[in-house]
Amino acid sequence: MKILAIETSCDDTAIALLEKKGESIKVLASNVSSQISLHNQYGGVFPMMAKREHVKNLVPVLKKTLSDAQLDTKQKEKNIFSGISKNIKLAKIKKVLRREEVLLQNIVNEIGIDTSLDIDYIAVTVGPGLPPTLWAGINFAKALSVIWNKKIIPVNHMHGHIVSVLSTDGTFFNTNNVELPALSLLVSGGHTEIVLVKDWGEYKILGKTKDDAVGEAFDKVARILSLPYPGGPEISKLADSHRQHHEAQNIFPRPMAHSDDYDFSYSGLKTSVLYYTKENDISNEDTRKLVAREFEDAAIDILVLKTKKAIEAFDPKCLIVGGGVSANKHLRDRLKNEIDIPTHLPLHNLTGDNAVMIGVSAFMNTKKAVPWNSQALHAQGNLSI
């Protein structure tokens, strides 16, 4: 069974082709077109600008992925009904892409209306994420569904982050690699959650952020320090440099770190950083390193403390960590040193948004496959796991 997966929840245009044989899922090809250089100059992602880039990038990324997988679209054999069938398909695609003339022309010119592809399903992220960018991927999936007559599997982006840990080499994925029930710490620019994974597809949110997500806090503090977007890696560089030569001073608070629940709050920490920088000269490199280190220490402290508390309460077999912030070296080191149950972290190329994890999730949800005109295929910016 083969699945073509599409991911456009934020500013990465990602497409992957995966194949399942028995219990093992193999990545045949995967490509990501990043928009970081575009959004860097603005200090963050502008949804409509990101959507326009997706519209331009989707067809080229698809063609590159199919080429890498050595899988080509095939022209259908013509018969007396070919012309009628082609016109019907084109009418449906025009309906789907009525506001996306660039994407429509790219599909018609580069893929063709009267083609076929040897796959079984198309998978696409429907949420959570930025609604304009989600719609770009969803409408692209709908158009391909019409052309190739394949059903679409709507995928929850956060479920993708959970299953991203099911591979140790980035090529083969298997659910046998993780023992359930598990506890999952999901940390990204839009989410900070602790989730109980009872089974694949059976989840319970134990706690989540009440305001800013941890990745969002990293980006906001980076802007305070005049660091480029994305802010997380830039803060970590400064923090690591300071950590090598100085002891921690614990100058910033750890909001909700010791509350009786599993929820998070990062807006207060961000505000504390802002007040500190107004009273101290952040043009001084040593001060910037200090602020970066103290902020990162506080942000990661909260994650680790809440995770340890949930592990003690629910006694899971293992810990699963997913999302863009899971790439953070300090977080990884803390979890490896302080968590006494098996801890599964995604490979670095699977920490950010990618279509591989969307495809892996789709294989677990083939029963949810729907036709292109289903009401299930709509952008859900605040979709919960």
Answer whether 377's CB lies under 8 Å from 138's CB. yes
With cut-offs at 50, 70 and 90, classify the pLDDT of residue 41.
confident
pLDDT digits (tens, 9 = 90+) for 175-219: 999 999 999 999 998 999 999 999 998 999 999 999 999 999 999
With cut-offs at 50, 70 and 90, classify the pLDDT of residue 45.
confident
With cut-offs at 50, 70 and 90, classify the pLDDT of residue 37.
confident
| pLDDT score recorded for residue 230 | 87
Res. 84: pLDDT tops 80: no
What's the rounded mean pLDDT across residues 79-105? 85
Total length of the chain: 385
| pLDDT score recorded for residue 301 | 98
Res. 380: pLDDT tops 80: yes
Res. 81: pLDDT tops 70: no
What's the rounded mean pLDDT across residues 107-117? 91
Kindly state the percentage of the chain with pLDDT values over 90: 89
Q: How many CA atoms lie within 13 A of 16 on its CB side?
A: 30
With cut-offs at 50, 70 and 90, classify the pLDDT of residue 82.
low
Res. 221: pLDDT tops 80: yes
CA angle 223, 293, 221 (to 5 degrees): 15
pLDDT digits (tens, 9 = 90+) for 159-177: 999 999 999 999 999 999 9
With cut-offs at 50, 70 and 90, classify the pLDDT of residue 118.
very high
Higher-scoring residue by pLDDT: 107, 74: 107
With cut-offs at 50, 70 and 90, classify the pLDDT of residue 77.
low
Q: For 350, left (φ over 0), alpha (ψ -120 to 50), or beta?
A: alpha
Res. 352: pLDDT tops 70: yes
The Cα-based distances of 270 to 136, 251, 337 in angstroms read: 32, 13, 26
Res. 140: pLDDT tops 60: yes
Query: Where do the domains of the chain lie, and which CATH numbers do they carry?
Result: 2-162+352-368 (3.30.420.40), 180-341 (3.30.420.40)
Res. 372: pLDDT tops 70: yes
With cut-offs at 50, 70 and 90, classify the pLDDT of residue 83.
confident
- Token readout for 111 is 């893929």
Q: Tell me the average pLDDT of the chain.
A: 95
Strand partners, 153: 123
pLDDT digits (tens, 9 = 90+) for 240-296: 999 999 999 999 999 999 999 999 999 999 999 999 999 999 999 999 999 999 999
d(C-alpha 127, C-alpha 172), whole Å = 25
pLDDT digits (tens, 9 = 90+) for 307-345: 999 999 999 999 999 999 999 999 999 999 999 999 999
| pLDDT score recorded for residue 339 | 98
- Token readout for 215 is 């990745």
Res. 229: pLDDT tops 80: yes
Task: Find the DSSP H helices in 78-226.
Answer: 82-96, 101-106, 131-148, 157-163, 214-224
d(C-alpha 24, C-alpha 142), whole Å = 27
Residue with tokens 């018969």: 79
Kindly state the percentage of the chain with pLDDT values over 70: 98
| pLDDT score recorded for residue 78 | 63
Strand partners, 115: 75
